């Protein structure tokens, strides 16, 4: 069989040509990077867990009417997705002060924010994903006003749903990152949720102990990365109770 064509290789995933036009295969690697790839490592088994967690979350989001690129999981590390034109913006939703927000504004980590905050970052590794505002997005045409309206609306719906989902299993959804894509139908396009939702791109804290169950374990050299990701999968009902 001819080796399938690789479309793109990112830090944690590879995209291959899919079986039908308009589809891609998303492969989840074990590679982990942080601080714009200045720190690199491998978390054995991470790809398998993220594939499963993202499948679960995207399926639940689809059930509540959030359009996503996810079609179906193919195997341990791969899922079939719809091909989209990625909007070059990383959308970060924050409920609790942590990470770069705490650093930038001098806020103590763990303090509940007065309201949910949405931030935008330009997807540009060479520039280190700089923070941008609606003004930059409009001025440089990275997305239309209508698309940004849809993106903000979807981000809030995802946040509301995920906050409840995780609260139900004793996890505080501190913040997370989303990516969106355009689907074209002749001259008309619409926005759908793309990429993945997994502990790689979320801050998930145990509600009782405050223990970090996400990629901060890797970023901050805390150890126990796989165990943390497994714990999230287990609480979501994706692993046998142990």
Instruction: Give the interface with ligand C5P as residue ranges (CB under 6 A).
Output: 90, 92, 98-101, 129, 175-177, 201-203, 215
Of 157 and 190, the one with the shorter C-beta distance to ligand C5P is: 157
Sign of torsion over alpha carbons 91, 173, 191, 179: positive
Of 18 and 201, the one with the shorter C-beta distance to ligand C5P is: 201
Instruction: Give the shortest CB-160-to-ligand C5P separation in angstroms.
Output: 17
Of 102 and 144, the one with the shorter C-beta distance to ligand C5P is: 102
User: If we measure between CA atoms, which residue out of 41, 66, 94, 73 comes closest to residue 217?
Assistant: 41
Q: Whose CB is nearest to ligand C5P?
A: 99
Beta strands in the chain (DSSP E): 6-9, 13-17, 23-28, 31-34, 39-42, 70-73, 78-82, 85-86, 89-96, 112-122, 131-132, 171-185, 188-194, 202-206
The answer to whether 175 touches 94, Cβ cutoff 8 Å, is: yes
Instruction: Give the shortest CB-174-to-ligand C5P separation in angstroms.
Output: 7
Of 18 and 162, the one with the shorter C-beta distance to ligand C5P is: 162
Of 77 and 203, the one with the shorter C-beta distance to ligand C5P is: 203
Instruction: Give the shortest CB-68-to-ligand C5P separation in angstroms.
Output: 17
At residue 188's C-alpha, the angle toward residues 145 and 61, to 5°, is: 75
Instruction: Give the shortest CB-168-to-ligand C5P separation in angstroms.
Output: 20
Of 18 and 91, the one with the shorter C-beta distance to ligand C5P is: 91
Length of the chain: 242
Instruction: Give the shortest CB-185-to-ligand C5P separation in angstroms.
Output: 29
Buried b (16+ CB within 10 A) or exposed e, 10-27: eebbbbbebeeeeebbbb
Instruction: Give the shortest CB-94-to-ligand C5P separation in angstroms.
Output: 7
The answer to whether 30 touches 44, Cβ cutoff 8 Å, is: yes
Query: Residue 61 contacts by C-beta under 8 Å, 6 or more apart in sequence?
Result: 68, 158, 161, 193, 197
The answer to whether 23 touches 7, Cβ cutoff 8 Å, is: no
Instruction: Give the shortest CB-29-to-ligand C5P separation in angstroms.
Output: 15
Of 28 and 176, the one with the shorter C-beta distance to ligand C5P is: 176
User: CA 182, CA 192: separation in Å to the nearest integer?
Assistant: 6
């Amino acid at each position: 069989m001819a080796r399938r064509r690789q479309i793109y290789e990112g830090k944690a995933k590879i995209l291959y040509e899919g079986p039908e036009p308009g589809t891609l295969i998303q492969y989840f690697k074990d590679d982990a990077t942080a601080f714009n790839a200045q720190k690199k490592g491998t978390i054995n088994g991470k790809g398998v867990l993220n594939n499963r967690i993202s499948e679960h979350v995207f399926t639940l989001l689809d059930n509540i009417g959030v359009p996503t690129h996810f079609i179906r999981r193919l195997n341990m590390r791969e899922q079939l997705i719809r091909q989209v034109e990625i909007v070059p913006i990383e959308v970060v939703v924050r409920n609790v002060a942590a990470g770069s927000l705490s650093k930038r504004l001098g806020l103590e980590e763990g303090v509940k924010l007065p309201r949910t905050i949405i931030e935008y970052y330009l997807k540009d590794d060479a520039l280190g994903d700089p923070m941008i505002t609606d003004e930059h997005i409009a001025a440089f045409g990275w997305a239309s006003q209508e698309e940004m309206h849809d993106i903000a609306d979807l981000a809030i719906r995802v946040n509301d749903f995920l906050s409840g989902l995780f609260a139900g299993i004793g996890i505080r959804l501190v913040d997370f990152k989303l990516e969106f894509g355009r689907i074209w139908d002749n001259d008309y396009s619409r926005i759908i949720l793309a990429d993945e939702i997994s502990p790689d791109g979320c801050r998930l804290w145990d509600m009782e102990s405050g223990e970090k169950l996400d990629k901060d374990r890797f970023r901050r050299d805390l150890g126990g990365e796989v165990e943390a990701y497994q714990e999230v999968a287990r609480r979501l009902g994706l692993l046998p109770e142990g």
